[in-house]
């Protein structure tokens, strides 16, 4: 929860970005499954999340590059 709040606080108001926290739910950890669960959009085979307007980042990755 603290990491989610911190991420939300860093996003400028003029950007259309939403940080969504999810409960752990197997087998929902795969990127395309998360996108479907959160947005209802399905990433077509051979396409990337950006093709449906989504980006998935985990907190560990964000911390590592920050």
Interval 6-19: pLDDT, tens: 889 999 999 988 88
What is the model's pLDDT at position 1?
67
In Å, how far are 2, 13, 24, 59 from 8, measured between CA atoms?
A: 10, 10, 20, 12
Per-domain residue ranges of the chain: 2-65
Q: What is the pTM of this model?
A: 0.61
- Residue-wise pLDDT for 9-66, tens only, equals 999 999 988 888 877 777 767 889 889 988 999 999 999 999 999 988 877 887 788 7
pLDDT at 23: 78
Q: Which of 1, 22, 4 has the alpha carbon at shortest distance from 62?
A: 4
């Amino acid at each position: 929860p603290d990491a989610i709040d911190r991420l939300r606080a860093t996003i400028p108001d003029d950007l259309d970005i939403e940080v969504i926290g999810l409960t752990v739910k197997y087998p929902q950890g795969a990127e395309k499954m998360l996108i479907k669960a959160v947005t209802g959009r399905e990433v077509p085979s051979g396409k990337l999340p950006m093709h449906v307007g989504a980006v998935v980042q985990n907190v560990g990755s964000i911390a590592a590059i920050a």
